[in-house]
Amino acid sequence: MGKKKQHAEHDGSERWLLTYSDLITLLLGLFVILYASSQVDAKKFQAVMAAFGSVFEGGGAGLLPGANGALETPIQKGPGQGEGQGGGMDEAVKQQVRDAIREAVQAGQINLSETTAGLTVHVTEKLLFDPGADSLRPEAVPVLESLGKTLAGMKNEIRIEGHTDDRPISTPAFPTNWHLSTARALNVAVYLLDHSAIDPKRVAVVGYGEYRPIAPNDNESDRAINRRVDIVVVK
């Protein structure tokens, strides 16, 4: 009888090992879950959110009424982002700009190009200024007045950009090409504003110096193309 009692007590004293092993297993599982949840998979996350959306909306598309996803907030465009005030540019507007400068285009004094930013009127230095100067030439007046009347009837933003070639300049009035390009762009902007009904709030002026050429600066004819003022009608 004594031996049997001793054996039973021995078996009961080791039951705590079962409880301990269960606890260790649960802790291991917990740490595995925590680690896995820290490695976020975007696709799996979207799938989970879509599943929750179908539950809460009875098969709808989002978690919130009228939403297309878990959360949906309209993006507000700030100044200079996306389209300009005019909300784009149709072919009629482009044709108006072409008509306003047709003669200058035919004379090779102006070129037109269109990019994702908008319609750009490239006005050559030859039409606008004497070499190294920022005062408008008389020949530029009719073209700028015609263009100004056309631009005044639009709602698009207008960016006026001054450009030079890569040859350095150093004069009392213009120590660098930055100074020259900015002064030229500013004078074109001021003339357009003074002689048309363009809203000044729509106009921006910038000088790029020699840093945005549209032709190689390796010969005189290409340098002449780079010496220009661009009038950009922003979409």
pLDDT of residue 41: 56
Contacts of 152 (CB under 8 A, 6+ apart): 196, 197, 198
pLDDT of residue 65: 41
Based on the fold, state whether residues 29 and 110 are members of the same structural domain.
Answer: no
Give the whole-angstrom CA distance, residue 188 versus residue 179. 14
Residue 86 inside a domain? The answer is no
pLDDT digits (tens, 9 = 90+) for 100-127: 888 888 888 899 999 888 999 999 999 9
Based on the fold, state whether residues 171 and 72 are members of the same structural domain.
Answer: no
Based on the fold, state whether residues 19 and 118 are members of the same structural domain.
Answer: no
Question: Which residues of the chain are under the pLDDT cut of 70?
Answer: 1-14, 32, 34-89
pLDDT of residue 58: 46
Instruction: Phi first, then psi: give them for residue 173, nearest 5 degrees.
Output: -80, -35
How long a stretch of residues is the chain?
Answer: 235
pLDDT of residue 46: 57
Q: What is the CATH number of the domain that holds 202?
A: 3.30.1330.60
Based on the fold, state whether residues 201 and 139 are members of the same structural domain.
Answer: yes
Based on the fold, state whether residues 31 and 114 are members of the same structural domain.
Answer: no
Based on the fold, state whether residues 37 and 122 are members of the same structural domain.
Answer: no
Give the whole-angstrom CA distance, residue 84 versus residue 219. 37
Based on the fold, state whether residues 52 and 165 are members of the same structural domain.
Answer: no
Q: How many CA atoms, within 13 angstroms, populate the side-chain half-sphere of residue 31? A: 5
Residue 58 inside a domain? The answer is yes
Based on the fold, state whether residues 118 and 206 are members of the same structural domain.
Answer: yes
Q: How many domains does the chain have?
A: 2
pLDDT of residue 28: 77
pLDDT of residue 123: 96
Residue 82 inside a domain? The answer is no
pLDDT of residue 42: 52
Q: How many CA atoms, within 13 angstroms, populate the side-chain half-sphere of residue 137? A: 15
State the residue range of the domain holding 142: 91-234
Last residue of a domain, one of 25, 53, 76: 76
This prediction's pTM: 0.63
